[in-house]
Amino acid sequence: MSKVRSIQQAVRLIQDGMQVGIGEFSYQNPPMTVVREIIKQKKKNLTIISGPTSGLATDMLIGAGCVRKVVTACVAFEQVAGIAPAFRQACEQGKLQVWECDECIWQLGLQASAWGMPFMLWQGGVGSDIPKLNPDLRLVQVDAHGNVRAASGKRQQHKQGTQSLVYVQIPAIRPDITFIHAAAGDAAGTVQYPRQRYLGRTFNEALLARATHGPVIATVERLISAEQTQKHPELTVLRDAMVIEAVDGARPGGCNGVYPPDLEAYRAYVRTCLNKRKVKHNDA
């Protein structure tokens, strides 16, 4: 049975209040066709799980009023804007919940979901303020026998001379539905990127897909035959996804192996957001 869908069909699967995975990494592979359709369909109160470093897709959804909460290490445009404008404004006005984490914590939360585990343990973040800012990230103490208990954040010495180590306990992050953008896909739901990739990073798309307990939808630059995908299985990132053909579907972001991001368009977006903010401020 064909896995090809229309963009309208796919976005209608989103219900208000869902946890939605968005497979973008900074400027790379944002599913912008999906983002525009989410805004058009006026989805609300979404938790967006994107990143690990989020970009334009997440910021546009925030600016359109679709987002209640973000799960990401940051929302930024790197050399264009250190903090994305809609994200900054929503945070400053107290209109957006932010699940504080770094990139490794983000990945490990998704990995826990992918492996069917309730949590992961990680020493990165111990000694930082991340557990203070995010109550979901608990400090726990693990002794030499593997016993886990609440911790004060310090290593403690046992009578036997062994040490208990302190970890951050990271709960599983489980998207209800996930959207990614890729170079190509076939009607059976096999999704691929070219061998020669701009920046080369595609791990977050696969990780989000594995962590998702609902549908995974990939917009692709072009539909290709199953024979073509089977010739190069090493290029496959996902299997059994719903597939939507969306030429230029990541623009103005970049699509790995197809086209780089249009940074001038990002600059224009930032200027537009800032000008709108000035107008509202002056009107007030």
Q: What is the 3-state secondary structure (H, E, C) of 149-193?
A: EECCCCCEECCCCCEEEEEEEEECCCCCEEEEEEEEECCCCCEEC
Q: What is the pLDDT of residues 92-151, one digit of tens each?
A: 999 999 999 999 999 999 999 999 999 999 999 899 999 999 999 999 999 887 888 888
Residue 283 lies in a domain: no
Cα–Cα distance measured from residue 217 to residue 215, given in angstroms and rounded to the nearest whole number: 6
**Torsion on CA atoms 83, 89, 94, 96, rounded to nearest 10:** -60
At 155 the pLDDT is 46
The 3-state DSSP class for residue 105 equals helix
Q: What is the pLDDT of residues 246-276, one digit of tens each?
A: 999 999 999 998 999 999 999 999 999 988 8
Q: Which domain holds residue 151?
A: 122-171
Cβ contacts of 182 within 8 Å, gap of 6 or more: 29, 191, 192, 193, 202, 205, 218, 219, 220, 221, 237, 238, 255, 256
Residue 111 lies in a domain: no
Q: What is the pTM of this model?
A: 0.91
Please state the domain count of the chain: 2
Q: Which two tokens stand for residue 14?
A: 């989103």
The 3-state DSSP class for residue 235 equals helix
Q: What is the pLDDT of residues 169-185, one digit of tens each?
A: 999 999 999 999 999 99
Q: What is the pLDDT of residues 233-245, one digit of tens each?
A: 999 999 999 999 9
Residues 153 and 183 in one domain: no
Provide the CATH number for the domain around residue 34. Answer: 3.40.1080.10
Residues 177 and 167 in one domain: no
